[in-house]
């Protein structure tokens, strides 16, 4: 059974009968995990093994695990620094900051791969305008060139541990104060301004070979009336055609208030996939998952299926405990801790 185009959330730390039925639906291609799905590294490993054993090719397993305040698994995992901490290190020593970003990427990916997670929605490519509360210290820096350097190093670290990177939130979320989880933000800048500033990290990371991107639930009215994640202008014309991106495009959560522009659950999935997304996320609204799986049959696109198949994780350690006994893990763990303690956290 090929991987479908929906990525859905689970209710708890073990699979229920309903979960199993939904994950075997042909429209489903993957699972996104949250803190509610986690008790311990051993439990998480067992859960992921069960999910991967349900189908062939195996379902994708993803998580938001960036570091700082967005880290779903904590007890038993390395506590990762927020991206802004690494950006602050740049002003002291750019070379050291690049190394720190690479080490962050390696640690993030190595630990998740050890428990069977395929990929994380990281790194953030948004700029730190000190305006967006939902982005805040999740962004590396205000300077797009610094963001590019640090995100590229993070991506390389993730790749060395067997994980692809997912850059977000295209074409840039940092300049709007409204939280798209709660309402629909509007960014009234013109395309030329976005291209010269917020879009530069995305354009450069595409050139460097980033495997996947996530568009924002934000309207840029000078470009299109639709939010970027529902817009063929943004996804097909700009991201695919103008910027030449050939990787996977994954929607932001369709449960968010910023997605209500498209209508109900079925209309949101239709609009996101119709605009060109390869995966559509339904994270927390379990009634919406039921509705979409019952009434919506996404078309099977072989090109989109191929993009999804390239998101699987590669090499992994036998267990998180085993990884944490290795010299690489112990060395990088010390370096991350030492570096974060030495960084002046004043914005």
347 within domain boundaries: no
Please confirm, yes or no, whether 159 is among the known catalytic residues: no
Confidence of residue 181 (pLDDT cuts 50, 70, 90): confident
Q: Which of 25, 39, 181, 236 is catalytic?
A: 181
Please confirm, yes or no, whether 207 is among the known catalytic residues: no
275 within domain boundaries: yes
1 within domain boundaries: no
The predicted model gives 39-47 an average pLDDT of: 97
Burial class of residue 171, CB neighbours in 10 A (0-12, 13-18, 19+) = buried
279 within domain boundaries: yes
Q: Which pair of tokens denotes residue 238?
A: 């700009």
Confidence of residue 179 (pLDDT cuts 50, 70, 90): low
Output the pTM of the full model: 0.95
How far is Cα 189 from Cα 204, in angstroms, rounded to an integer?
21
The predicted model gives 304-329 an average pLDDT of: 94
Residue of 75 and 1 predicted with greater confidence: 75
Q: Which residues, in sequence order, are CB contacts of 76 under 8 Å at separation 6+?
A: 40, 41, 320
How far is Cα 199 from Cα 172, in angstroms, rounded to an integer?
7
Provide the pLDDT for residue 342.
66
Burial class of residue 19, CB neighbours in 10 A (0-12, 13-18, 19+) = buried
258 within domain boundaries: yes
Number of structural domains, the chain?
A: 1
Provide the pLDDT for residue 347.
44
Confidence of residue 343 (pLDDT cuts 50, 70, 90): low
Domain range for residue 330?
A: 6-342
How far is Cα 83 from Cα 92, in angstroms, rounded to an integer?
15
How far is Cα 243 from Cα 203, in angstroms, rounded to an integer?
6
Mind listing the pLDDT tens digit for each residue in 195-210? 999 999 999 999 999 9
8 Å CB contact between 38 and 72: yes
Q: Where are the beta strands (DSSP E) in the chain?
A: 6-9, 28-33, 60-63, 65-67, 70-71, 119-120, 166-170, 212-215, 248-249, 280-282
Provide the pLDDT for residue 182.
65
Res 68 pLDDT > 50: yes
By C-alpha distance, which of 256, 252, 234 is closest to 243?
A: 234
CA angle 186, 257, 16 (to 5 degrees): 150
Q: Which of 19, 197, 252, 278 is catalytic?
A: 252
Provide the pLDDT for residue 62.
98
Residue of 262 and 170 predicted with greater confidence: 170
Q: Which pair of tokens denotes residue 203?
A: 């354009």
Q: What are phi and psi of 141, to 5 degrees?
A: -170, 165
Domain of 184, CATH number, reads: 3.20.20.300
273 within domain boundaries: yes
The predicted model gives 246-271 an average pLDDT of: 94
For the chain, percent of residues with pLDDT exceeding 70:
97
């Amino acid at each position: 059974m090929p991987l479908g185009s929906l990525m859905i959330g689970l209710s708890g730390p073990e699979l229920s009968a309903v979960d199993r039925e939904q994950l075997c639906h042909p429209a489903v291609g993957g699972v996104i995990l949250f803190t509610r799905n986690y008790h311990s590294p051993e439990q998480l490993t067992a859960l992921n093994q069960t999910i991967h054993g349900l189908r062939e090719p195996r379902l994708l397993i993803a998580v938001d695990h960036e570091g700082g305040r967005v880290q779903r698994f904590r007890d038993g995992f390395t506590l990762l620094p927020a991206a802004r901490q690494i950006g602050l290190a740049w002003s002291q020593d750019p070379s050291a900051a690049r190394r720190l970003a690479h080490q962050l990427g390696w640690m993030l990916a190595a630990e998740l791969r050890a428990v069977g997670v395929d990929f994380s929605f990281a790194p953030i490519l948004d700029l730190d305008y000190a305006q967006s509360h939902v982005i805040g210290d999740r962004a590396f820096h205000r300077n797009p060139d610094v963001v590019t350097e640090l995100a590229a190093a993070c991506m390389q670290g993730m790749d060395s541990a067997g994980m692809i990177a997912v850059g977000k939130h295209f074409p840039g979320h940092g300049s709007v104060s409204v939280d798209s989880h709660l309402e629909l933000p509007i960014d009234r800048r013109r395309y030329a301004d976005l291209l010269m500033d917020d879009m530069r990290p995305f354009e450069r990371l595409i050139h460097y070979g980033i495997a996947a991107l996530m568009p924002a639930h934000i309207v840029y009215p000078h470009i299109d009336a639709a939010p970027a994640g529902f817009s063929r202008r943004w996804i097909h014309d700009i991201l695919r055609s103008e910027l030449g991106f050939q990787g996977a495009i994954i929607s932001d959560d369709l449960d968010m208030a910023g997605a209500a522009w498209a209508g109900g659950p079925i209309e949101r999935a239709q609009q996101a996939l119709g605009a060109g997304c390869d995966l559509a996320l339904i994270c927390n609204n379990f009634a919406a998952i039921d509705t979409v799986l019952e009434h919506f049959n996404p078309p099977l696109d072989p090109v989109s299926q191929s993009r999804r198949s390239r998101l699987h994780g590669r090499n992994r350690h036998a267990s998180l405990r085993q990884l944490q006994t290795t010299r690489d893990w112990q060395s990088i763990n010390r370096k991350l801790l030492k570096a974060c303690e030495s960084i002046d956290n004043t914005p």
